Structure 1
Amino acid sequence: MNNTILITGAASGIGAATARLFYARGWQVGLLDINSEALASLSAELGGCWHRQLDVTDIDQVKGALAEFCARHNGQLRLLFNCAGILRFGYFEDIEQVEHLRIMQINVMGVCNMTHAAFGYLKATHNAQVINMGSASGLYGVPEMATYSASKFAIRGFTEALDLEWARHGIRVADLMPPFVNTPMVSSQHHAPATLSRLGVNLEAVEIAKAVWQQVDSTAVHRPVSLQFKLMYWAGQISPAWMSRLTMRWLSRK
């Protein structure tokens, strides 16, 4: 059986870095993204690997893409990496409501759409797995990125619930929880929240790709990324809620 990975948000950043890593290690890679030009360029770089333009909020497109990719691999899918997502820094009231809605549609419902449509293919595959792109902002709500943070809380809960629920099918579900990563999604922002200024942008996309690789052989449900955030994550597991709130208040203070 070939190891197969299907990646959403594959055209740039973490998705592209993950595609390059898994391709280099002999996996059959499928690329999905709404940016067709960048997607085609990456596909050419990776030996012409399978790719399709996709809007993860369009259920019919999602079902069609999964059916087409998995048909090439005996109806099986070893790993679904839900990496597509969008971000908007700024004060909540300054961001148009349509943008808040779009963040939730792509970051939450896009993951739900992909995972639901992938179920049959995952179930048919030994040791199948779903890895969701979570965030350090799913640990405690982050000011100036409230809706994005809320979307990652949703991914965290979705991941925890589905990992327990799908254990009966032999499908593992996990998420990655990195702090700020140097990707176009972050560098294109016009507003810098205080937390970014205090914590910095200390991770590159390739480091997250390596975390995806490590997660393939792990039974962990959450994978915090970077020593800085690992310390914050584990401290948050044992400290009272008021301590986490005080920490975030300090990190987000102007």
Structure 2
Amino acid sequence: MNECIFITGAGAGIGRATARLFAAEGWFIGAADRDAEALEALRNELGAERCSIHVADVTDSSAVTLALEEFAAHTGGRLKVLHNNAGILKVGPFEKISPEVHRSLVEVNVIGLMNVLHAAFPYLKATPGAQVVNMSSASASYGIPDFASYSASKHAVRAMTEALDIEWEQYDIKVGDLMPPFVNTGMVQSNEGQSALFASMGVNLTPETVAVAVLEQVRKHRLHRPVSLQFRALWPITRSAPTGVTRAVMKRLWKND
């Protein structure tokens, strides 16, 4: 068995691009998503000999557990890399987004991620040199207006990453995350026009660029991996600058002055 990776949200966008890239590198892909049709198309493209598909909603812990059990049956119980990519986005003024939508965003982006981590742990532990690559965001660096609950969810992903990278070190499991700004996916496209930040910061990354960052992360682990030249330059500043400075910059970008 070649190296193996389990990818959530693999039916489209970053997840699909990552599946394609790792398959081209000779990896066996476990592709999980809610969209059965998209998964079938991906398996047909990659070939059943190098791709297993698993219809699962990450908020359903039983479905996630079953998906990983099925994947592990293909890999002899091994899981070299877990790519926690599944997520949703809703942009707009906080008070104009319903509590139900805010809740679903947190359930997918945070509780869903935790479900997958919990179910994947036995297989990661059984695999020497295993890694977790969580999908955080540039919005985990500071709270983002018009992205309040999404940004909060990605702060949670960042904290989970930092905690588990310490906890799971004893099991030879490295945990890190990617922190891209806006990526040109269907998820972002469906929200464009809902915030001036899209125009002021630009939607400049492709899913393929982020997929390359996943591969780079696997080859050279970092706790946090900013993606894009723009955010790689800004990340050290956001960590060291006084809060008032970061707030002023974010407010100006939001107002698009």
- TM-score range normalised by the length of the shorter chain: over 0.9
Shift of 1:219: 2.8
Moved more, 5-14 or 43-52: 43-52
> Where does residue 76 of structure 2 map in the other structure?
74
Q: Residue 174 of structure 2 aligns to which amino acid in structure 1?
A: R
Question: Are the equivalent residues in 1 in contact too, given 2:81–2:133 (CA < 8 A)?
Answer: yes
Task: Say which of 84, 93, 96 aligns to 1:94.
Answer: 96
Quick one: distance in 2 between partners of 1:61 and 1:161?
A: 25
Give the distance between the partners of 1:140 and 1:190, measured in 2 at CA.
20
Partner of 1:222: 224
Confirm or deny: 8 A CA contact 1:7 1:19 kept in the other structure: yes
| Shift in Å, 1:190 | 5.5
Structure 1 position 42, deviation (Å): 1.1
Question: Does the 8 A contact of 1:144 with 1:193 survive in 2?
Answer: yes
State the shift of 1:238 in Å. 2.0
Structure 1 partner of 2:150:
148
Rounded Cα–Cα distance in structure 2 between residues aligned with 1:204 and 1:175: 18
* Distance (Å, rounded) in 1 between the aligned partners of 2:155 and 2:193: 22
The CA deviation at 1:75 is 0.8
Partner of 2:44: 44
Which residues of 2 match residues 19-30 of structure 1 at below 5 A?
19-30=19-30
Runs of 4+ in 1 over 6 A off after TM superposition: none
User: Post-superposition shift, 1:220?
Assistant: 1.1
How many Å separate the matches in 1 of 2:68 and 2:146? 35
Question: Offset of 1:15 from its aligned partner?
Answer: 0.2
CA contact (8 A) 2:141 2:239 kept: no
Percent identical among aligned pairs is 50
1:191 positional shift: 3.8
- Match in the other structure for 1:253: 255
1:176 alignment partner, one of 132, 154, 178: 178
Q: Aligned partners of 2:221, 2:25: CA distance in 1, in Å?
A: 21
**Are the counterparts in 2 of residues 7 and 81 from structure 1 also a CA contact under 8 Å?**
yes
Preserved contact between residue 162 and residue 176 of structure 2 (Cα < 8 Å):
yes
Q: How does 1:69-218 map to 2 (within 5 A)?
A: 69-189=71-191, 191-218=193-220
Distance 2:235 2:216 in 1: 18
Q: Which amino acid aligns with 1:31?
A: A
Q: Conserved in 1, the CA contact under 8 Å of 2:136 and 2:180?
A: yes
8 Å CA contact 1:90–1:191 kept in 2: the answer is no
Is this contact kept in 2: 1:43–1:51, CA < 8 A? Answer: yes
- Structure 2 residue aligned with 1:18: 18
Gaps of 5+ in 1: none
* C-alpha distance in structure 2 between counterparts of 1:4 and 1:146, whole Å: 35
| Matched AA of 2:185 | T
Give the root-mean-square deviation of aligned CA atoms: 1.0
2:30–2:53: 8 Å Cα contact kept in structure 1? yes
Q: Distance in 2 between matches of 1:38 and 1:123?
A: 30
The one-letter amino acid paired with 1:60 is S
> What is the TM-score when the length of structure 1 is the normalising length?
0.98
TM-score, normalising length: structure 2: 0.97
After superposition, what is the alpha-carbon deviation per residue over 1:56-98, rounded to whole angstroms, capped at 9, x for unaligned?
A: 0001101101011012211110000000000001111111110
C-alpha displacement at 1:41, in angstroms? 0.7
Counterparts of 1:165 and 1:242, CA distance in 2:
33
Q: What letter corresponds to residue 115 of structure 2 in structure 1?
A: N
Distance 1:217 1:210 in 2: 11
Structure 2 segments unaligned to the other structure (5+ residues): none
Aligned length: 254
